[in-house]
Each structure stands twice: as C-alpha cells, then as structure tokens.
C-alpha cells in the first residue's frame, strides 16, 4: 500500500529569504491561496519575529486559509520568537509552531559559543514552552547533515520527550549526497519509530550541489514521512528542494517509491508562473517540469517518434502539470466574458465590477498594440492595476518622457507627478536608459544605486511585451522594481520608478511599525 507523504511548502519563508524576492502582504496572500489550490498540506508562511510586516502576513494567511491546510511559521529557540509564531498562527484551523536550533559542531561552537549540553537544553526548553501554547510543534535540527550523529540523536530523543510532534532533519548547507543522506534518514527513522512511532520524520534540503531533489527522494525511500519544498526551488543561495520536481518524481515513479502526495499536479505550472510573476525571478528555460522547454521536442527524430506514439519520448504529459490550460490567447475581439474567465483561471478575484472594467480597458489597449494577449500579459496588467490602486496618491508617477539617443550625448527629459504636483527634469547619460534613470533619480531626490537591470520579452510574437526587472540598493537594502510595456524604454523608466516607490513605501512602513 502507498504511504502518504506530507508536503510542506516553505516558499513564503525559506524562498522569500532570497534577495529581491520580498513580497508584500497582498502578494503573499495571493500566493498562499494558490498553494491551497495546489493542495499542499502545510504552508510555512514566514518568520514573524523578523519584522512587523512578516508577522502581519503570517497572521493574514492563518486567518484566511480555512481548514484544508496547516499553517506554520519559523521561530528560533527563544521565547519571544515562539510567542510571535503563536500569536500569528493561532487563529489557523491547524496551527503548528516550528522551532529551529543548530545541531552540528560548527553551529554549536561558532554560532552559539556554548557547550553541546547547553544548546540541547535550549532546544528542550523551547519545545516545552511551545507545547504550553499549541499541541503541534516541529523541531528542526539545523545543519543535521554535518552533525555528529550521536549528538544529533541525543537532541532528537530529548526534544521528542519534551513533546515535539515532528522532527525535521535539514541539509542546511546542501552538503549531503543521496546515499549518505538516505542512510542518515534510515538510521534516524529506525530509532525514532522505536522511541515514539507517532512522531513524524521530516526532511528539508538545499541545492548547493544540485542534489536537493535527489536527496529528498532518497530520504523518502528511507522512511521520511514529510518533505519540505519550495516552488521553482526558490530559496537561500542555490535554493531549496523543488516541490514540482519531487512531487512529479514520486508520481511518475510511484511503483518504485510506493508513495503519493495530496498535490493537485495540474496546478503546478500555474503556481510556478504566479511565483515568477510575483517575484520577477524567472525559471530557466530547461528547468524540469516548469521550464519553458520542459515539454518542447525540437529534434526531428524526437518529433517523428512522438507522432507515432507519445510514450516514445514522453514520461509524463504536459496536461499532468497543467500545461495545456496555460495556453490562453486573447485578442481585441475577445469580449468581457472571455477576459473575465481568463483572469479567474489565473486565480484572481473578478467580482469587483469597477476594478474589472479598468483592467478590461487596459486589456483592450494592449490587445490593440500587440494583437495576441497571453496569460503572462494578463498577470502584468493585473499587477499594474493593483499597484496603482494601492499606492495612488503617495508615490511618484511617470507622466511623460522623451529620450534622444546618439553616440555623442544621449539625453532624457522626464515629467513625474507626486501628490498632484508636476516635477520636470532632464539629464544626459552613457546611453538612453542611463540618461532616463539619472533624470528620474534627480527628480525623486533619493540616492538609490542601480545594481541590476534585466529586460526580456514576455509571451511570444514580434509585438511581444517587454518586461524590465531592476534592483536598487538604498542604504544597504535591496529593492526591486518591475514593469512591462510594448515600449521597452517606457517599461525601463517605469520599472526604475517602481523600485524608487518600493523604497519610499518601505520607509513609510518602517516608521509606522515602530
């Protein structure tokens, strides 16, 4: 009989630690709703002690998710962190406190500078305290793959006796290899089931050697009952275990693993695209399962084989991951009903008639400009619309601009609006974008530094929309700005301004929070 593997998604916690992937509360809620449609078992919604914004986001997610999904958030092994998790998740139907504490020698000695016994006691005390607040407590033995095994086991034994209901064994630095990690999980599994067979054994891997998915699968083969993953493998450094890869491997090779998950795999591609859209972090074209080319067969030999029988070169069908329903092509003649249907299919709420009408008018303008409108384009229309509605009067708006480019003296003239006031300026630069950015920067008066600029086309066709992602540094913090337009200079200017607006919003939020 198949074992059921519990899937915890940590995109909103471990994934969100990536520079530039910071989402606002509304975006996190939207993504959490999609994770619910994907049918993950548990959402790790954030690290509430880290900021007021994170606390608020976790609480909103806990409030709005209903009873089909568990909600957790991360705490270090200190009372104030555990309190913050408790206060933010308690309202959920199935709340869980997640505590993390280092277990390897290097963590104990270098990070804490304490004896092993003292660190172990910190973990036990933290679990005991968390248990006074909630019945479900997960304990993560950070850096477990580099820990001394007997100390690791001693820690696990002690926290289980203190009441932990889930023991998580992270490969925090992506050091493990599949055989070794599988063996570690097997040894822990054997002892844990003797100690208390109701305690769940969980795994959490990082991808520094490109082995996170392989290590997670090896752990499942050796007894892991719960896996922690992120969409698109987003996460610290090289990322975390990719949810879509692991879940599809378990499904495609079910007869080998004899395991299944609750995931609705037909929601995988939609979830991946939503994340890309919200964070601006693209998935590589040849990425397994969700990359642009994951189901594209280009060589003649392969195409010939496929025409004879799909099984010749296909181990899973695009429909299994929701690919066929992503092919939305709308035109200026598509009408309100079709556009509304397409937007709802992307997971957005269309019940507000006024808001929909604004989006529809933008859609018509875009469809006139580029003839065919794809789901990517709709995502951006919706995002633009929401950002404008949210921040209407407080921030800078790009009213008009002119750019002259030549090999002598590229120049830009810009008109911005702020609180009903018109601001005009001009600048020269090394090139047209540099001139445009210098003019905008001078008008806003913020000493931001451009650290990253990327332009690519979204969707297909020669009239494709250009999407610009930028990163700004302001006082050591990274901010992102994104924009799209059929005019790539305008998209560039707007993306820069969105980055500047993100700095201003962050400063306002920090002032309000403290």
Return residues touching ligand KIV (CB under 6 A).
Answer: 14, 74, 100, 140, 142, 168, 170, 172, 204, 206
Rg (CA), the chain: 25
Provide the minimum distance between the beta carbon of 172 and Zn ion in the complex, in angstroms, as a whole number. Answer: 6
Provide the minimum distance between the beta carbon of 138 and ligand KIV in the complex, in angstroms, as a whole number. Answer: 9
DSSP conformation class of 69: S
74 binds, among ligand KIV, Zn ion, none (CB under 5 to 8 A by kind): ligand KIV
Query: Which amino acids are annotated as binding site for Mn(2+), given as ranges?
Result: 14, 204, 206, 240
48 binds, among Zn ion, ligand KIV, none (CB under 5 to 8 A by kind): none
β-pair type (95-102, 3-4):
unpaired
Query: Which amino acids are annotated as binding site, given as ranges?
Result: 14, 204, 206, 240
Show the tokens assigned to 359: 């989006």
Strands of 339-459 (E only): list them.
Answer: 397-404, 411-418, 421-428, 449-458
Closer residue to Zn ion, CB minimum distance, 168 or 383: 168
Where on the chain is the footprint of Zn ion (CB under 5 A)?
Answer: 14
Closer residue to ligand KIV, CB minimum distance, 83 or 264: 83
Closer residue to ligand KIV, CB minimum distance, 240 or 411: 240
β-pair type (449-458, 465-474):
antiparallel
Q: How far is CA 371 from CA 310, 331, 380, in A?
A: 33, 6, 16
Alpha helices in 392-468 (DSSP H): 432-444
Return the ∠ at Cα 401 (arms to 396 and 403), rounded to 5°: 135
Closer residue to ligand KIV, CB minimum distance, 107 or 482: 107
- SS3 string, 329-357, reads CECCCCHHHHHHHHHHHCCCCCCCHHHHH
Show the tokens assigned to 11: 């995109």
Show the tokens assigned to 480: 């992102």
Provide the minimum distance between the beta carbon of 204 and Zn ion in the complex, in angstroms, as a whole number. Answer: 6
Closer residue to ligand KIV, CB minimum distance, 138 or 261: 138
Burial-class residue 208 by CB neighbours within 10 Å (0-12, 13-18, 19+): middle
Long-range contacts (CB closer than 8 Å, 24 or more residues apart) made by 446-455: 446/474, 446/500, 446/503, 446/504, 447/474, 448/472, 448/473, 448/474, 448/479, 448/499, 448/500, 448/503, 449/473, 449/474, 450/496, 451/478, 452/20, 453/492, 455/488, 455/491, 455/492
Closer residue to Zn ion, CB minimum distance, 13 or 273: 13
The residue with tokens 């964070």 is 279
Closer residue to ligand KIV, CB minimum distance, 202 or 494: 202
């Amino acid at each position: 009989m198949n074992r059921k593997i519990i899937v915890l998604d940590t995109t909103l916690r471990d994934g969100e630690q990536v520079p530039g992937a910071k989402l606002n509360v509304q975006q996190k809620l939207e993504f959490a709703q999609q994770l619910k449609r994907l049918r993950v078992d548990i959402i790790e919604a954030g690290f509430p002690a880290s900021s007021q914004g994170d606390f608020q986001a976790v609480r909103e997610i806990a409030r709005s998710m209903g009873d089909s999904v568990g909600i957790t958030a991360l705490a270090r092994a200190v009372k104030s962190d555990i309190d913050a998790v408790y206060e933010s998740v308690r309202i959920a139907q199935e709340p869980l406190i997640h505590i993390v504490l280092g277990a390897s020698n290097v963590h104990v000695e270098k990070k804490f500078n304490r004896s092993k016994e003292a660190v172990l006691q910190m973990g036990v005390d933290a679990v005991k305290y968390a248990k006074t607040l909630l019945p479900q407590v997960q304990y993560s033995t950070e850096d477990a793959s580099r820990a001394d095994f007997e100390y690791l086991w001693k820690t696990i034994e002690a926290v289980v006796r203190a009441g932990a209901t889930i023991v998580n064994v992270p490969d925090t630095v992506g050091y493990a290899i599949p055989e070794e990690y599988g063996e570690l999980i097997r040894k822990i599994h054997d002892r844990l089931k003797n100690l208390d067979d109701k305690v769940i054994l969980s795994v959490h891997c990082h991808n520094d050697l490109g082995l996170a998915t392989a290590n997670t699968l090896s752990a499942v083969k050796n007894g892991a009952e719960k896996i922690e993953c992120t969409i698109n493998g987003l996460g610290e450094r090289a990322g975390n275990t990719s949810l879509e890869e692991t879940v599809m491997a378990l499904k495609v090779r079910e007869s080998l693993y004899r395991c299944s998950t609750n995931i609705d795999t037909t929601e995988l591609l939609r979830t991946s695209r939503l994340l890309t859209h919200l964070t601006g972090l693209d998935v590589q074209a040849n990425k397994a399962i969700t990359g642009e080319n994951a189901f594209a067969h280009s060589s003649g030999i392969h195409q010939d084989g496929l025409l004879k029988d799909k099984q010749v070169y296909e181990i899973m069908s695009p429909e299994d991951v929701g690919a066929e329903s992503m092919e939305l092509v709308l035109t200026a003649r598509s009408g309100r009903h079709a556009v509304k249907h397409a937007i709802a299919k992307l997971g957005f709420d269309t019940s507000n008639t006024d808001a929909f009408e604004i989006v529809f008018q933008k859609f018509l303008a875009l469809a006139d400009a580029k003839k065919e409108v794809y789901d990517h384009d709709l995502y951006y229309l919706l995002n633009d619309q929401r950002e404008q509605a949210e921040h209407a009067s407080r921030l800078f708006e790009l009213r008009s601009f002119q750019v002259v480019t030549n090999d002598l003296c590229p120049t830009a003239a810009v008109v911005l609006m702020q609180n009903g006031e018109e601001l005009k300026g001009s600048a020269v630069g090394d090139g047209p974008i540099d001139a445009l950015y210098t003019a905008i920067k001078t008008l806003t008066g913020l000493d931001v530094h451009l650290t990253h600029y990327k332009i690519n086309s979204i969707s297909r066709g020669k009239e494709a929309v250009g999407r610009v992602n930028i990163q700004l540094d302001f006082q050591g913090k990274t901010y992102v700005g994104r924009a799209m337009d059929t005019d790539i200079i305008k998209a560039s200017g707007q993306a820069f301004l969105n980055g500047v607006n993100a700095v201003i919003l962050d400063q306002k939020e920090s002032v309000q929070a403290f």
